[in-house]
Amino acid sequence: MRQPRIIIVGGGLAGLMAAIRVAEMGAPVDLFSIVPVKRSHSVCAQGGINAAKNTKGEGDSTAIHLDDTVYGGDFLANQPPVKAMCDYAPHLIDLLDRMGVMFNRTGEGLLDYRRFGGTLYNRTAFAGATTGQQILYALDEQVRRFEAEGKVKKYEGWTFLSAVLDDAGNCCGICAMDLKSMEVRTFPADAAIFCTGGIGAIFGRSTNSVVCTGMAQSALFQQGVDYANGEFIQVHPTAIPGEDKLRLMSESARGEGGRMWVPKRAGDTREPRSIPASERFYFLEEWYPKYGNLVPRDVATRAIHKTVFELKLGIGGEPAVYLDLTHIPRETLDRKLEGILEIYEKFLGVDPREEPMKVFPGVHYTMGGIWIDNNNQATNVPGIYAAGECEYQYHGANRLGANSLLSCIWGGRVAGPAAVKYARGLDKGAEAVDPSVFERERKRQEGINERLVSQQGAENPITIWKEMGAWMTEHVTVMRYNKNIEQTDSKLQELQERFKRINLSDRTKWSNQTLAFARELENMLVLARVITLGALARNESRGAHYKPDFPERDDKNWLKTTRAHWDNGRIQLNYEPVDISLIPPRARKY
């Protein structure tokens, strides 16, 4: 049998899991990543991974995991794929355990589980507070083993530019650029799986890593791959603001008993520990007695906004609230949360075991992403698959904490075999495609580089990026008003015009990060518009998408998936029904 060639773009959890599965099926894999895969953004995931193992006699089940996820996502997720993921989650934990992930253990030597947001059960397996790093390493090691056996070939330090589509519109490979030599080259493949992660850079500062620009998703979108529910952006309630990045303080801090509060008196500048309990406002516990500090992220984030901007109770008048761990024994903190405490300590010089942390919400995750079908992680373009944060399935209008690692690994697990099956079913493989098809795409991409390098003007890409980020963060995150969203879209179009006059301060042909960034930025601007237009159109409030002028969920008009389509340079919004065949929608009240 002819072995198909599979390309995987992105080497985080989803990409590595897909690579393992494809290699296991005997098909050769070409794995592309901007950074060495061990440095992928998945390392930033902290708190844990969900699986209803019910190890603590609470009566948890995969059915309850499904319900929590669907309800937490405000009924926007297609339910059968969520069910498949939740049902299989316990097996994935077993697999990771076998791969040697150093999960925390109970006295009996079993995996320990902790609480997370949006559930009442201890369902989250964890490895200290660096669970993403630990799981990524385990998958990286398995892929390295396949690499040593010659089954996986890595292209690290390459950035994806575009898919190569044959005359029938099927994917027959990719076009990528070597970030050292800046060489643009095409690579044939019978199918390509995209696992290109988040889009935080569109908001300027976020909890995401530098490579999370959404460039690949945007490039694919402009080649006809639909993009769904782009307007659903998760803003995590607890991050440490920084000029370069918003550093996440995991939800597990609250899962382990952390409490959020502000001084009851506005502008109170006393040392936090000197403020007596009676003069503290534990706003989440007061407003949400059942879930307390563990309400879902969208709810917690809006509560912080209300506390800071409406009630004017931010610490010392600043946009910040306390995340307090000081009542938890030091030994417990070190055993279960050390990774994040270390981050706070290193970047702010304050020991969070001794002093409450000052935090504020930050852009964290995109629920929306590349449109895929309900069974195979297949996009609407034959031969293109997607898995992980870059696709839209599983989280609806708001993602529950510790479901992201799960959906990445699950998505990769499904996408790998699905791509192989598709490729094996082809009459003719990519080798039969006329070389001119590849040449055409390579020339198109080289042309873009030429244009950017030779163009003269007064605009700086970093300045345009900062402006985009500031507008998107202010108007298209927690509180969305149509007037502001409209202005943001005009601004984005203005930035697109200005982009035509950017002047690259580096025109060399070796390891030119300025050129690579300009290409990312051009794509970010398109995806920013997809997000913005999706938000503008959706006149309701659902999950992370909140419009004060339309404060209620409107199932009659808006229980539907936004599906953006690139129509000859125009962003067209179409809508399709959500599969709610398993759990009828009900009001979401925590």
Partner 1 sequence: MANQKTFLVRVKRQASPKEAPRWEEFELPWRPHMNIIIVLRDIAERPVTRDGQTTTPITYDSNCLEEVCGSCAMVINGRARMACSSLVDKLEKPIRIEPMTKFPVVRDLAVDRSSMFENLKRMKAWIPIDGTYDLGEGPRMAPAAQEKAYPLSRCITCGNCLEVCPQVNENNAFVGAAIISQVRLFNMHPTGAMHAHERLDAIMGPNGVADCANAQNCVKTCPKGIPLTESIAEVNRQAIRQAVFGWLIG
Burial (CB < 10 A; 0-12, 13-18, 19+), residue 548, is: exposed
The smaller minimum CB distance to partner 1, of residues 99 and 537, is found at 99
Closest separation in Å from C-beta 271 to partner 1: 20
d(CA 137, CA 42): 10
The smaller minimum CB distance to partner 1, of residues 59 and 349, is found at 349
d(CA 489, CA 536): 9
d(CA 191, CA 128): 37
Closest separation in Å from C-beta 338 to partner 1: 9
Catalytic residue, from 205, 259, 297, 542: name it: 297
CA angle 556, 558, 563 (to 5 degrees): 145
Decide if 398 contacts 297 (C-beta within 8 A). Answer: yes
Give the DSSP H/E element, type plus range, for residue 172: strand 171-178
Decide if 525 contacts 555 (C-beta within 8 A). Answer: no
Closest separation in Å from C-beta 489 to partner 1: 25
CA angle 103, 326, 330 (to 5 degrees): 45
The pair of three-digit structure tokens given for residue 10, joined into one six-digit string: 């992105």
Closest separation in Å from C-beta 95 to partner 1: 6
Residues that bind partner 1 (CB under 8 A): 20-21, 24, 35-36, 38-41, 43-44, 91, 94-95, 97-100, 102-110, 127-128, 130, 133-134, 137-138, 141-142, 144-145, 147-148, 156, 180, 209-211, 242-245, 247-248, 335, 339, 343, 346-349, 413, 460, 462-463, 505-506, 508, 510-514
Closest separation in Å from C-beta 334 to partner 1: 10
Neighbours of 385 (CB within 10 A): 30
Closest separation in Å from C-beta 300 to partner 1: 21
The smaller minimum CB distance to partner 1, of residues 126 and 283, is found at 126
Enumerate the H helices of 256-399 as residue ranges: 283-287, 297-305, 330-348
Per the annotation, the verdict on 297 as an active-site residue is yes
- What is 216-277 written as a DSSP string? HHHHHHTTT--EE-TT-EEEEEEEE--SS--EE--THHHHTT-EEEEESSTT--S-GGGS-G
The smaller minimum CB distance to partner 1, of residues 109 and 289, is found at 109
Closest separation in Å from C-beta 248 to partner 1: 8
Decide if 165 contacts 194 (C-beta within 8 A). Answer: no
The smaller minimum CB distance to partner 1, of residues 58 and 506, is found at 506
Neighbours of 486 (CB within 10 A): 14
The pair of three-digit structure tokens given for residue 53, joined into one six-digit string: 């193992």
Decide if 549 contacts 482 (C-beta within 8 A). Answer: yes
Residues with catalytic function: 297
